[in-house]
């Protein structure tokens, strides 16, 4: 599986990963278009996202943010390429606008709206995964760009981050427009921790 700013239509899970059905069931029951997995590093956010998307043959376009994703031009073009690669959905307008923009950060909202328009044919059963979103959150302009994409399109978004995005409020969570699994929910139970230790021990014996 490719990493970095990449896309994929299916999400494989390594066989030695511990299943966490209590969490995947919560995700199954969520009706929100925007799903957040928010906790510090080490809480298995990306792994959980992969596990859930792999179940029931869900499809997804996967974009892993890096430190360079704080640059609106890099973020916009990276998302466009990931979507084209994963879905074959061309995002020509955003790429054209980026090429002609002298200061993408100052027109972040407009650029995000343009990308949202490029996504009008996005399949309703496909998720856009924004993994390691803290790379985006380092920049107010980059977050504004993503906010425009999310608010101006109907795309389902699954986001993993160390902190909740600025554009997703607790009110959004309380009223159900955003579903969030936070640090307390993502922390392993004693049973999950024991299973992880057994799996780790078995994998060492097999290697």
CATH number at residue 157: 3.40.50
Q: Is residue 36 part of a domain?
A: yes
Q: Is residue 8 part of a domain?
A: no
CA separation for the pair 23, 72 (Å, rounded): 33
91-110 burial code (b ≥16 CB/10 A, e <16): beebbebbeebeebbebbbe
pLDDT at 127 over 70: yes
CB-based contacts of 72-76 (< 8 A; 24+ apart in sequence): 72/104, 72/105, 72/108, 72/111, 72/139, 72/141, 72/142, 72/145, 73/98, 73/101, 73/104, 75/136, 75/142, 75/145, 75/146, 76/104, 76/111, 76/112, 76/115, 76/145
**Per-residue pLDDT averaged across 157-177, rounded?**
96
pLDDT at 6 over 50: no
| pTM for the model | 0.85
- Helix, strand, coil shares of the chain, percent, nearest 5, are 50, 15, 35
Total structural domains within the chain = 1
Q: Is residue 5 part of a domain?
A: no
Q: Is residue 34 part of a domain?
A: yes
CA separation for the pair 150, 167 (Å, rounded): 9
In the block, tokens 């599986």 appear at 1
Per-residue pLDDT tens for 147-159? 999 999 999 999 9
Residue-level pLDDT at 199: 59
Q: Is residue 39 part of a domain?
A: yes
Domain residues for the domain of 27 are 21-206
Give the mean pLDDT of the chain. Answer: 88
User: Within 13 Å, how many C-alpha atoms sit on residue 167's CB side?
Assistant: 21
Residue-level pLDDT at 16: 53
Residue-level pLDDT at 189: 76
CA separation for the pair 194, 190 (Å, rounded): 6
Contact (Cβ atoms closer than 8 angstroms) between residue 38 and residue 181: yes
Contact (Cβ atoms closer than 8 angstroms) between residue 87 and residue 123: yes
More confidently predicted of 8 and 182: 182
Q: How distant, in Å, are the alpha carbons of 32, 98, 195 from that of 91? A: 25, 11, 43
Q: Is residue 82 part of a domain?
A: yes
Per-residue pLDDT tens for 46-61? 999 999 999 777 899 9
Q: Is residue 189 part of a domain?
A: yes
Under DSSP, is residue 169 helix (H, G, I), strand (E, B) or coil?
A: coil
The H-assigned helical ranges of 4-44 are 21-29
Q: What percent of the chain has pLDDT over 70?
A: 85
Residue-level pLDDT at 105: 97
User: Within 13 Å, how many C-alpha atoms sit on residue 206's CB side?
Assistant: 8
Per-residue pLDDT tens for 65-121? 999 999 999 999 999 999 999 999 999 999 999 999 999 999 999 999 999 999 999
Q: Given pLDDT bands bounded at 50, 70 and 90, which one contains residue 198? A: low
pLDDT at 194 over 80: no
Helix (H) / strand (E) containing 202: helix 190-206
Q: Is residue 118 part of a domain?
A: yes
3-state per-residue secondary structure call for 14-25:
CCCCCCCHHHHH
């Amino acid at each position: 599986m490719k990493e970095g700013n990449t896309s994929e239509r299916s999400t494989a899970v390594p066989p030695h990963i511990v299943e966490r059905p209590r969490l995947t069931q919560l995700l199954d029951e969520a009706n929100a278009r925007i799903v957040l997995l928010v906790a510090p590093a080490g809480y298995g956010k990306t792994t959980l996202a992969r596990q859930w998307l792999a179940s029931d043959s869900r499809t997804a376009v996967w974009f892993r943010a890096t430190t360079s994703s704080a640059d609106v031009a890099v973020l916009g073009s990276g998302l466009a390429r990931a979507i084209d690669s994963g879905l074959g959905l061309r995002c020509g307008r955003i790429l054209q606008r980026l090429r002609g923009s002298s200061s993408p950060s100052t027109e972040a909202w407009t650029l995000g709206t343009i990308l949202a328009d490029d996504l009008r044919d996005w399949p309703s059963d496909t998720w856009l995964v924004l993994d390691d979103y803290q790379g985006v959150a380092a920049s107010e302009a980059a977050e504004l760009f993503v906010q425009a994409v999310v608010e101006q399109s109907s795309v389902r978004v699954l986001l993993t981050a160390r902190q909740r995005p600025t554009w997703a409020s607790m009110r959004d969570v309380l009223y159900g427009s955003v579903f969030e699994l936070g640090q307390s929910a993502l922390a392993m139970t004693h049973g999950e921790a024991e299973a992880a230790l057994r799996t780790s021990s078995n994998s060492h014996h097999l290697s």
